[in-house]
């Protein structure tokens, strides 16, 4: 099914409990799609030569458990739908026995880098990919919004400054770095079962990011905003 690679959980990828961290899991997923595109000849360099790049619009991640240090895992990915300039892609991680331990759905937009606008793919580019059936996942409950009203807890969090190490090859904050920022706004001992991320606009070097954090029941919602209140990214962590 799609593209797979095997690995072993490294110490540098673990959290304080010796488990694979959420950020590292997302890096595995991001690397899987990069590896597949590179092997198919439609990776970063060919796209840049055409002035194009795939930009992630949203993630939905469901987690059975996080693998432990030294555990052998298989990470895979495949596209399940293309429409105009949009592409939907599944990701998964399995343990050595083939059990699903995490899976994700993601939405991507092909962007013209000069105009920073969505752009349909060049003829023949999508033919290199094999469309697979979509993984079964819980249907998202609408857009991520900050909860309001009775029972909502407001959580204070310090502002963040975008540094060079937050940036990717597009010179804006890498999508996994936003997730790392969001994790820093919720309790360290939170056991993630589902994570949703919606990207609104890119943040660039030296930008100030203002986290707005709310808790309702077992769900933490983090809105990473600019100083005017416009949203960079909304995140939802469910324990």
Judge if 31 and 115 occupy the same domain.
yes
172: nearest Cα among 55, 38, 59: 55
Q: Which domain holds residue 190?
A: 153-238
User: Any idea which residue has 């416009």 for tokens?
Assistant: 230
Q: How many domains does the chain have?
A: 2
Q: Tell me 34's DSSP state.
A: H
What are the beta bridge partners of residue 237? 195, 220
Judge if 196 and 84 occupy the same domain.
no
Residue 52 lies in a domain: yes
Cα 234 versus chain centre, distance: 12
Judge if 106 and 170 occupy the same domain.
no
Residue 226 lies in a domain: yes
61: nearest Cα among 85, 40, 90: 90
Judge if 69 and 168 occupy the same domain.
no
Residue 209 lies in a domain: yes
Residue 170 lies in a domain: yes
Judge if 124 and 9 occupy the same domain.
yes
pLDDT for the residue numbered 1: 62
Contact 128, 42 (CB under 8 A): yes
- pLDDT (tens place) for every residue of the chain, 239 residues total: 689 999 999 999 999 999 999 999 999 999 999 999 999 999 999 999 999 999 999 999 999 999 999 999 999 999 999 999 999 999 999 999 999 999 999 999 999 999 989 999 999 999 999 999 999 999 887 899 999 999 999 999 999 999 999 999 889 999 999 999 999 999 988 999 999 999 999 999 999 999 999 999 999 999 999 999 999 999 999 99
- Give the β-pairing of 72-83 and 86-95: antiparallel
Residues whose CB is less than 8 angstroms from the CB of residue 25 and which lie 6 or more positions away in sequence, other chains included: 61, 63, 66, 93, 102
Residue 138 lies in a domain: no
List, as one string, the DSSP characters of 55-83. EEEEEEEEES-PPBTT-EEEEEEEEEEEE
- Phi, then psi, of 64 in degrees rounded to 5: -80, -45
- Give the 3-state secondary structure of 85-125: CEEEEEEEEEECCCCEEEEEEEEEEEEECCCCEECCCCCCC
56: nearest Cα among 233, 181, 236, 238: 233
Residue 144 lies in a domain: no
Residue 136 lies in a domain: no
Judge if 18 and 103 occupy the same domain.
yes
pLDDT for the residue numbered 169: 85
Judge if 64 and 174 occupy the same domain.
no
pLDDT for the residue numbered 189: 87
Residue 133 lies in a domain: no
Q: How far apart are CA 31 and CA 155, in angstroms?
A: 33
Judge if 122 and 7 occupy the same domain.
yes
Domain boundary among 128, 161, 191: 128
Judge if 7 and 123 occupy the same domain.
yes
Judge if 180 and 103 occupy the same domain.
no
Judge if 71 and 21 occupy the same domain.
yes
Domain at 37, CATH number: 3.10.129.10
pLDDT for the residue numbered 107: 97
């Amino acid at each position: 099914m799609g593209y797979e690679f095997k690995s072993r959980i490294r110490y540098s990828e673990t959290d304080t409990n010796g488990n694979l961290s959420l950020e590292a899991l997302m890096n595995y997923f991001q690397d899987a799609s990069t590896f597949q595109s590179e092997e198919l000849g439609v990776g970063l360099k060919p796209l840049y030569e055409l002035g194009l790049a795939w930009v992630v619009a949203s993630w939905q991640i469901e987690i059975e458990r996080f693998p432990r240090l030294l555990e052998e895992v298989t990470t895979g990915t495949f596209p399940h739908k293309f429409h105009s300039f949009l592409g939907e892609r599944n990701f998964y991680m399995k343990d050595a026995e083939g059990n699903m331990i995490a899976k994700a759905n993601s939405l991507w937009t092909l962007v013209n880098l000069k105009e920073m606008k969505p752009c349909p793919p060049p003829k023949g580019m999508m033919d290199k990919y094999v469309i697979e059936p979509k993984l079964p996942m819980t249907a998202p409950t609408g857009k991520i919004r900050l909860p309001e009203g009775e029972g909502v807890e407001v959580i204070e969090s310090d502002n963040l400054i975008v540094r060079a190490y937050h940036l990717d090859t597009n010179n804006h904050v890498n999508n996994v770095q936003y997730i790392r920022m969001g994790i820093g706004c919720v309790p360290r001992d939170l056991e993630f079962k589902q994570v949703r991320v919606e990207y609104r606009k890119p943040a660039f070097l030296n930008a100030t990011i203002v986290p707005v954090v709310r808790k309702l029941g077992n769900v933490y919602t983090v809105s990473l905003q600019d100083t005017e209140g416009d949203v960079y990214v909304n995140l939802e962590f469910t324990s």
